[in-house]
Structure 1
Amino acid sequence: MTGEAGDHALGANSEVGRLRAVLLHRPGAELSRLTPRNNDQLLFDGLPWVARAQEEHDAFAEILTARGVEVLLLGELLTETIEHSGAARIQGISAAVSARRLGHHLAEDLAGYLRALPATDLAHILTAGMTFDELPVSEGAASLVRQMHHGPEFAIEPLPNLMFTRDSSFWIGPRFAITSLALPARVRETSLTDLIYAHHPRFHGARRAYESQVAPVEGGDVLLLAPGVVAVGVGERTTPAGAEALARSLFADELAHTVLAVPIEQQRAFMHLDTVCTMVDTDAVVMYPNLRDQLSAFTLAKTDSGVTVTAARPFVEAAADAMGIAKLRVIDTGLDPITAEREQWDDGNNTLALSPGVVVSYNRNVETNRRLVDSGIEVIEIEGRELGSGRGGPRCMSCPVARDDL
């Protein structure tokens, strides 16, 4: 882990309370698995230069540490969890080794091999995957699956999107929520987050807020607008059923009183709500201007008699009412439509707040960052030339596990 271990309480009730601890994943060998043949399937727009991506990520982590944030690295937590818990080891292997894909005998042999590995080696395979060429040699074991697959094909799929830690879990109040990722390339990520929260000593006693095994909900679609107020994007990755199930669960656990379901276009440019809108202050968002007047929200509210669902109305109005403020300030990515579209694609709206009015942003979003500064927001810029090839910015790459309450 990077930084000093803190004694701050786990949890968050906003997007902008002072950040105390955050979960990151330093990109590793899983990115080296990307090729021109599989990058689309694995959800990357290009082939990142892995060493440079690591340098950029290290710089991001160093900035957070310098600002007093405890940085927890998923890879290190995973290794420590496997060392600490036999149940975690079994859980990780079970999620990674599919009898449906490999056949019963090969899956059984591979699971046995993985159970005997040192924790560091197993953690590597669970994140970077394993090709058929890399399978252990088992004398006398007959497997049609093994013989018919080409050696470079994956027996265990890599997880190159693991660095976007925002999606597989999020914290609300003092609890964590395990999400359900929509696309096959990412489904297994939640198994790693789940076993870390369940078995790592750092999270001992932490309770679940929500866990879905059916309707997709992804963390990038979940914004904690204010204490008790949550916005959930509904589009390519989160379904209406997922948003409703999340809302009802949060209401039942008294973690929220209002949830805004926000429809967004089902296309890659707008894959999550946080690609078009993120909180930068207690009363302000940065937002893609082309959607400012189009973005709407259905309001789900907890009442004494149950749950009410109110028809859609403009998002900025619905959000302000739910947050109990007169107006939600909107800082956009530039009025020029070409600049705005470019910077939205380059994650100009995807900022990570370190405290009210202080955010981290990619340095290439020059116009957006200028407009943020002109609006009184402190912008800490980072390089993201290689990190951005997976379509994610500073917020996507970070899962806050501890923020000060507002």
Structure 2
Amino acid sequence: MTTDASTPSIRAGSAGYVDSEVGRLRTVMLHRPGAELSRLTPRNNDRLLFDGVPWVSRAQDEHDAFAEALRTRGVTVHYLTDLLTEALESPDARKLTIAEVLTDPQLGTDLGDIVGAHLETLSPAELTSALITGISRTELADGAGLAFALMADQDFVVPPLPNVLFTRDSSVWVRDRVAVTSMTMPARHRESTLTHAIWSHHPEYAGTEHLYNDDLEPLEGGDVLLLGPGVVAIGVGERTAPAGAERLSRNMFEAGLAHTVLVVPIAQDRATMHLDTVCTMVDVDAMIIYPNVADTLTAFTVTAPDGAQTQLRVSRREPFLPAAAAALGIEKMRTISTGLDPVTAEREQWDDGNNTLCIAPRVAVAYERNLVTNAALERAGIEVIRIAGSELGSGRGGPRCMSCPIKRDPG
């Protein structure tokens, strides 16, 4: 493509490019829920970060409809399992992913040696399945050692990854580079290893430069919003640490990918675990935001070091929406007012009413169950593509959480 002063330069050969939340979506990575959800029980769902035990076949039907809704709008859908299987043809990718499994302290030396040897025998497709679905004690035929002997039959030698459904969290594209995130919860650590393997070793993406890696300070993709070209908001709270926001900011400034970062403190609470559970962009100058926090959400504006200084420049705390408008160079950030009373607002926020996926300016995918929020979006001129999510939402994630944009039209 040709570039001019108004078009950001894309590195030659880049397979991905994302500089906003609303540029027309061209390519996305999803994960169709599979047998890993069947591993959830009332005994383990809390530890595996689900609020219930989903009906797996219905979750798959809902996800298939989500993917088809994207395809009908011209979006190319890649599945994480397909990309990972292709990446695992690389010996380096196999070594990386198997090594991560063996860092689990519950294995010990004897069982760890057995698990590692077992994983080495698997084909790329079989290894993909084991890494995501997990391996129970009863499924490891040659298990031995003290750790193995003391496990119950239903315990996992390799825990499953039910949250891999939420592909937004483990990696984020910023223009033509990717940030592989560092997940906070132990139940999700391996997810970032899988995306690291994909973006480092898949034939189509192997040349991608990394902005962040999974061995750094806690940082999750649901907390990273690309408000517009050069302007990024990062939530800090339950899942992303201030040090993670600082390092990503510095890396983006040094790479020339951003001129302003807004660091937004959010409540350390399950219902507001990520910034995108509170607000998402639905147009170049508009966002849907949880009304119970709209007037109290604040931000620190962060910019690159000045002159001989090495420290990032950090402003005083100020209201988030005016700070976002100033960073974007617009008069005002429009917010979609739902007119909800506090109780209804809390219910729809819990059901990811504010977690929309924009596939073009003023076109957003949303869960159908959030009736009042969706009606407000439509009154504001936003086309809403409704999808079912009664089972998909049991892990507390909406359409944005379930999607990792790889390529959008430049903003």
More divergent stretch after superposition (351-360 vs 239-248): 239-248
Equivalent in the alignment of 2:298? 296
SS at match of 1:262: strand
Once residues 248 and 84 of structure 2 are traced to their aligned partners in structure 1, the CA distance between those partners, rounded to angstroms, is 27
More divergent stretch after superposition (376-385 vs 326-335): 326-335
Equivalent in the alignment of 1:282? 284
2:51 aligned with 1:49: no
Equivalent in the alignment of 1:152? 154
Query: Which aligned segments of 4 or more residues in structure 1 are displaced greater than 4 angstroms?
Result: none
One-letter code aligned to 1:326: E
5 Å matches for 1:355-370? 355-370=360-375
SS at match of 1:401: strand
Once residues 216 and 288 of structure 2 are traced to their aligned partners in structure 1, the CA distance between those partners, rounded to angstroms, is 32
Equivalent in the alignment of 1:323? 328
Equivalent in the alignment of 1:113? 118
Alignment equivalent of 1:11, drawn from 17, 28, 31: 17
Once residues 151 and 283 of structure 1 are traced to their aligned partners in structure 2, the CA distance between those partners, rounded to angstroms, is 54
Q: Is the 8 A contact 2:193 2:214 kept in 1?
A: no
Once residues 406 and 200 of structure 2 are traced to their aligned partners in structure 1, the CA distance between those partners, rounded to angstroms, is 14
Superposed displacement of residue 105, structure 1: 2.2
Once residues 360 and 202 of structure 1 are traced to their aligned partners in structure 2, the CA distance between those partners, rounded to angstroms, is 27
2:31 aligned with 1:25: yes
Q: Where does the alignment leave 5 or more consecutive residues of structure 2 unmatched?
A: 1-12
Superposed displacement of residue 8, structure 1: 8.6
Equivalent in the alignment of 1:135? 140
Q: Is the 8 A contact 2:211 2:248 kept in 1?
A: no
2:45 aligned with 1:39: yes
One-letter code aligned to 2:102: V
More divergent stretch after superposition (196-205 vs 362-371): 196-205
Residues 122-167 of structure 1 show CA distances to partners (whole Å, capped at 9, x for unaligned) of 11110011111111326xxx51111111111011111000010000
Once residues 212 and 165 of structure 1 are traced to their aligned partners in structure 2, the CA distance between those partners, rounded to angstroms, is 15
2:403 aligned with 1:401: no
Q: Is the 8 A contact 2:14 2:208 kept in 1?
A: no
Alignment equivalent of 2:171, drawn from 169, 172, 176: 169
Superposed displacement of residue 93, structure 1: 1.1
Equivalent in the alignment of 2:314? 309
Once residues 214 and 276 of structure 2 are traced to their aligned partners in structure 1, the CA distance between those partners, rounded to angstroms, is 20
Once residues 180 and 144 of structure 1 are traced to their aligned partners in structure 2, the CA distance between those partners, rounded to angstroms, is 31
More divergent stretch after superposition (103-112 vs 265-274): 103-112
* CA 91–8 in structure 1, closer or farther in 2 if over 3 Å, else same: closer
More divergent stretch after superposition (278-287 vs 91-100): 91-100
5 Å matches for 1:236-385? 236-305=238-307, 306=309, 307-385=312-390
2:66 aligned with 1:64: no
Equivalent in the alignment of 1:74? 80
SS at match of 1:205: coil
Once residues 115 and 142 of structure 2 are traced to their aligned partners in structure 1, the CA distance between those partners, rounded to angstroms, is 10
Once residues 392 and 12 of structure 1 are traced to their aligned partners in structure 2, the CA distance between those partners, rounded to angstroms, is 21
Once residues 364 and 324 of structure 1 are traced to their aligned partners in structure 2, the CA distance between those partners, rounded to angstroms, is 35
One-letter code aligned to 2:133: A
Q: Is the 8 A contact 1:359 1:377 kept in 2?
A: yes
Once residues 243 and 104 of structure 2 are traced to their aligned partners in structure 1, the CA distance between those partners, rounded to angstroms, is 30
Residues 239-281 of structure 1 show CA distances to partners (whole Å, capped at 9, x for unaligned) of 1111111111111111111110101100001000000100000
* CA 99–57 in structure 1, closer or farther in 2 if over 3 Å, else same: closer
Once residues 358 and 117 of structure 1 are traced to their aligned partners in structure 2, the CA distance between those partners, rounded to angstroms, is 43
Superposed displacement of residue 75, structure 1: 0.9
Once residues 201 and 216 of structure 2 are traced to their aligned partners in structure 1, the CA distance between those partners, rounded to angstroms, is 23
Q: Where does the alignment leave 5 or more consecutive residues of structure 1 unmatched?
A: 1-6
One-letter code aligned to 1:78: L
One-letter code aligned to 1:43: L
One-letter code aligned to 1:62: E
5 Å matches for 1:184-195? 184-195=186-197
One-letter code aligned to 1:67: R
Q: Is the 8 A contact 1:8 1:402 kept in 2?
A: no
2:395 aligned with 1:390: yes
Alignment equivalent of 1:204, drawn from 206, 212, 226: 206
SS at match of 2:110: helix
Residues 210-240 of structure 1 show CA distances to partners (whole Å, capped at 9, x for unaligned) of 2252321100000000111000011110111
Residues 88-124 of structure 1 show CA distances to partners (whole Å, capped at 9, x for unaligned) of 1121111112363212122112211211112221111
Identity of aligned residues (%): 57
Q: Is the 8 A contact 1:333 1:348 kept in 2?
A: no
Residues 313-355 of structure 1 show CA distances to partners (whole Å, capped at 9, x for unaligned) of 0000000000000000001343311211111010000000001
One-letter code aligned to 2:218: P
